[in-house]
Amino acid sequence: MNRKNFFEFLRLEICSAKKYYIIFFLILTSFFSITMSMFSSAVVVPAQYKANLREAFPKGTSLLSMGSPEKTVGMQEAGVDYISFMYNGITHNASLKNGSSILDNLLGEAQLFKNVFNKTSYMSRLDGLCVSGRMWSEDDNGVKNQIWLSKPAAAALQASVGHEVELTGRAADVRLAVIGIYEENAEEDNTPAFVISYGTAYAILDGVGEGTFFLEIYDVTRIARVVNELDKRGIDWFDMSGTVDNVNAIASSETLFWVLTVILLIIGAFAAANVLAMLVKVREKTYGLYKMLGAETNYIMNLAFSALSFLLTFSAVFGIFFSVLINGYFDGIALDLFNADFKIGLVWYAPVAVIAINSLFLLLRYFRTKRRLDKISPLIVLTEET
Amino acid sequence: MVEIRNLSKKYGDFFALNDISMTVEQGDYTAVMGRSGSGKSTLLHIIGGLDKATVGQILFEGEDIAAFSEKRAARYRNQKIGFVFQAFHLEPSYSVYKNMEIPLLIAGTEKEERRERIKKYADKLGISEKLNSVSRTLSGGEKQRAAIARALITEPKLILADEPCGNLDSVNAGTIMDIFDMLNSEGKTILLVTHQEGDAKRARKRIVLHDGAVMNE
């Protein structure tokens, strides 16, 4: 069969069946525009809510919780950036010795901080949050069996860098190498203090009891995930910033948007795929006539498929146009009703995803429709007067 | 041209055609007669490659059409056979021009040649003035002349006509039969299925079918 007249035949086919193509065009354009709008909303609306929340909490947020440090193991995977564990009085009987010099009971008000990340430099932590405590320790991070001394502590012990001091704890005595001497913040009480590693603290204190946690989350939108993890672990928590409900509401709306998007995507893709089958069904007699006049199944199938591809392309273009209008309309409504400065627009990958999924479904349908077309006998023309 | 050997067509237990053998020579004008249900249309469909025989052979210029692939059968219908039916079977939303153009588009005929052939056969069948009319708006006689023009457009060797005057009044029927006479006089081979004695008398050869079998030749 000669294919050089294919496009002329295609034009004839589309012109003659235009009423069906117009109906299919309207159906597909509706699906495309609604799906693309919903897809964009699913991406943009929750993202805008999250951005607003981040703007309101630029330094993140905190949760307060109770328990032992073991309970927080792995919380960083749930989105926690920093955990402070506070337990007063855990080191009552700790004392530092260097030869005959002893610093006793200097840690009655000690706080134990645990940074869940090891990325921050040692000194920046020293200059930042951690100097506020009498005793500060962290994950081992290569400083186990080492100690930093505050200037008053070093003076009292007559110790300098390179010396070794002995720390007597409730459970064990350890010998620690002095690796640095620091000055206390001027605003702080200038009593002798020191810095040891978290692991060292554990060793001398025989573990720690129940205390208070501050879980710091730099990205406020992660709070829901953290709370969920705390609930799973059976740890009570208190939302100090009151953002959990907001974040949960955003997550729910995001889920709803995506569920609707996926439903629309699937329905739309099925519709597009079935348009091909419907086209063959409604044009059954004409295609039978084409067969009687010498057209092969492949020829007719390619005719229907090409016609539908054109239709899908036009529907997609109009769908993009209408979805921009729809989302622009909702921007206006949001502005009027909630004074919310929304800019949903159309995310570029919404049309790409919608068209890709529709094309995939259409291709899958191609072979099934071809089998159906194969079964159309030229004799179907004779079943009724045309 | 067409040689039919021991052809049978069965639908379940019913024999629509039962062991038919016959020959159609180049330039023949053969009328196949018989009552309704005698199998004459089935015979025409099988010869035209629209249906398959249950057993037997149909040789068209020495080739067994039952052995044709889908592609070959399609080309056979497009190039060798012209169909004319009682109900015309024009595409109702197409113009006469477009209806006549379909077989040529399928055949891959160039645009200029398509135009020339359509003009030639429209003139021959007296429907030149109706070329741009949508076929559903034509009268019965015009529809049948358009259908014949479409059947002739690829210049097939064999015209298969199934009750071509069945839906026409006597005047139009006479015109259509005159056209068949003219085509045969020009060398076209025609196989005409009819139950009208008058129409059959115009053919040079008559075959009568009864219950799927040849009763008289």
Q: How far apart are CA A365 and CA A386, in angstroms?
A: 29
Does the structure show a pLDDT above 70 at A67? yes
User: What are the tens digits of pLDDT across the range B167-180?
Assistant: 888 888 899 999 99
Q: H helices within A95-243, ranges in order? A: 122-127, 151-157, 198-205, 223-232
Does the structure show a pLDDT above 50 at A139? no
Residue to mutate among A292, A298, A303, A375, with most B CBs inside 10 A, is: A292
Question: What is the number of alpha carbons within 13 Å of residue B52 lying toward its C-beta?
Answer: 9
Q: How far apart are CA A160 and CA A245, in angstroms?
A: 52
Does the structure show a pLDDT above 90 at A114? no
Cβ atoms of residues A225 and A191 within 8 Å? no
- The average pLDDT across A93-104 equals 64
- The average pLDDT across A192-204 equals 67
Question: Edge-to-edge strand order for the sheet containing A95-98?
Answer: A101-104, A95-98, A164-168, A173-182, A146-150, A194-196, A135-136
- Other Cβ atoms less than 10 A from the Cβ of A182: the count is 18
Q: How far apart are CA A289 and CA B89, in angstroms?
A: 8
Q: How far apart are CA A200 and CA B157, in angstroms?
A: 104
- Determine whether the interchain pair B91/A293 forms a contact, defined as Cβ–Cβ distance below 8 Å: no
Least confident of A137-151, A300-314, B197-211: A137-151
Does the structure show a pLDDT above 70 at A110? no
For position A207, what pLDDT does the model report? Answer: 56
Interface list for chain A against chain B, based on CB atoms closer than 8 Å: 1-5, 8-9, 12, 16-17, 286, 289-297, 299, 377-379, 381-382, 385-386
User: What are the tens digits of pLDDT across the range A247-283?
Assistant: 888 888 899 999 999 999 999 888 888 888 888 888 9
Does the structure show a pLDDT above 70 at A64? yes
| Residue B92 amino acid letter | P
Q: Which of B14, B17, B20, B18 is nearest to B2 (CA)?
A: B20
How buried is residue A158: exposed, middle or buried, by Cβ count under 10 Å (0-12/13-18/19+)? exposed
Helix axes of A297-338 and A18-56: crossing angle, nearest 10 degrees: 40
User: What are the tens digits of pLDDT across the range B101-153?
Assistant: 999 999 999 999 999 999 999 999 999 999 999 999 999 999 999 999 999 99
Q: Which of A204, A145, A143 is nearest to A176 (CA)?
A: A145
- The average pLDDT across A310-324 equals 92
- Determine whether the interchain pair A293/B98 forms a contact, defined as Cβ–Cβ distance below 8 Å: no
User: What are the tens digits of pLDDT across the range B72-105?
Assistant: 999 999 999 999 998 899 998 899 999 999 999 9
What is the complex's ipTM, to 2 decimals? 0.93
- Under the banding of pLDDT at 50, 70 and 90, the label for residue A135 is very low
A237 Cβ neighbours under 8 A, 6+ residues apart: A63, A64, A65, A215, A227, A230, A231
Torsions phi, psi for B6 (to 5 deg) = 50, 50
> What is the Cα Rg of chain B in Å?
17
The residue that leads in pLDDT, A127 or B47, is B47
Torsions phi, psi for A128 (to 5 deg) = -100, -120
Does the structure show a pLDDT above 90 at A292? yes
State whether residue A140 is helix, strand or coil: coil
B113 and A CB contact within 8 Å? no
Q: Give helix then strand counts, H and E, for chain B.
A: 7, 10
Q: How many residues does chain B have?
A: 217
For position A379, what pLDDT does the model report? Answer: 84
Q: How many residues does chain A have?
A: 386
B114 to chain A: nearest residue by CA? A5
The two beta strands, A164-168 and A173-182, are antiparallel
Question: What is the number of alpha carbons within 13 Å of residue A331 lying toward its C-beta?
Answer: 16
State whether residue B53 is helix, strand or coil: coil
- Under the banding of pLDDT at 50, 70 and 90, the label for residue A316 is very high
User: What are the tens digits of pLDDT across the range A115-127?
Assistant: 433 322 222 222 2
- Determine whether the interchain pair A378/B77 forms a contact, defined as Cβ–Cβ distance below 8 Å: yes
Does the structure show a pLDDT above 80 at A68? no
- Determine whether the interchain pair B89/A9 forms a contact, defined as Cβ–Cβ distance below 8 Å: no
Does the structure show a pLDDT above 50 at A141? no
B110 Cβ neighbours under 8 A, 6+ residues apart: none
